[in-house]
């Protein structure tokens, strides 16, 4: 996908962070979920109600080749794992985990999104070109 072989990220998804890669996300449902979630407090998407400034800008997220500062390819499986628990994907990540049963390493707060909801948000983000 436009990346030379030496630049293709190959960090493994951490053991125990289960992702159902058969799920198909719905971008419109994902847009609606994103718009009413905590995502908008940290991330910015121009043209959407998403004014956050703490997290990375997501306006053209779907055009990116990688995520997690280049650790992972920007594909549905890795993005779903990232949304489910970014702290497990990249120790030290500030983004809290959003997947059901996942816990924030700093606050202990639990995520609440189902894998289908995560797949929908991932589909929305990947549609942002």
Q: Is the pTM of this model over 0.95?
A: no
- Separation of alpha carbons 109 and 122, rounded Å: 22
- Separation of alpha carbons 46 and 51, rounded Å: 8
Using CB atoms within 10 Å of the CB of residue 86, give its burial: 0 to 12 exposed, 13 to 18 middle, 19+ buried: buried
Q: What is the pLDDT of residue 1?
A: 56
Q: What is the pLDDT of residue 7?
A: 86
Q: What is the pLDDT of residue 19?
A: 87
Contact 102, 91 (CB under 8 A): no
**Residue 123's closest CA among 43, 19, 26?**
26
The encoded tokens of residue 12 equal 């493994």
- The 3-state DSSP class for residue 110 equals strand
Kindly list the averaged pLDDT for each block of 10 residues, start to end, along the chain of length 129. 80 91 96 94 91 92 94 95 97 95 94 97 97
Q: What is the pLDDT of residue 8?
A: 84
Dihedral sign for Cα atoms in the order 60, 87, 25, 55:
negative
């Amino acid at each position: 996908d436009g990346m030379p072989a030496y630049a293709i990220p190959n960090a493994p998804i951490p053991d125990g962070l289960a992702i159902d890669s058969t799920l198909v996300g719905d971008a419109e449902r994902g847009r609606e979920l994103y718009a009413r979630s905590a995502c908008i407090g940290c991330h910015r998407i121009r043209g959407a109600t998403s004014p956050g400034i703490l997290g990375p800008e997501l306006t053209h997220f779907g055009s990116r080749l990688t995520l997690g500062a280049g650790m992972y390819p920007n594909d549905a499986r890795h993005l779903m794992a990232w949304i489910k628990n970014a702290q497990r994907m990249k120790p030290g990540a500030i983004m809290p985990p959003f997947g059901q049963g996942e816990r924030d390493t700093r606050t202990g707060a639990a995520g609440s999104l189902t894998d289908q909801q995560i797949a929908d948000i991932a589909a929305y983000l990947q549609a942002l070109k």
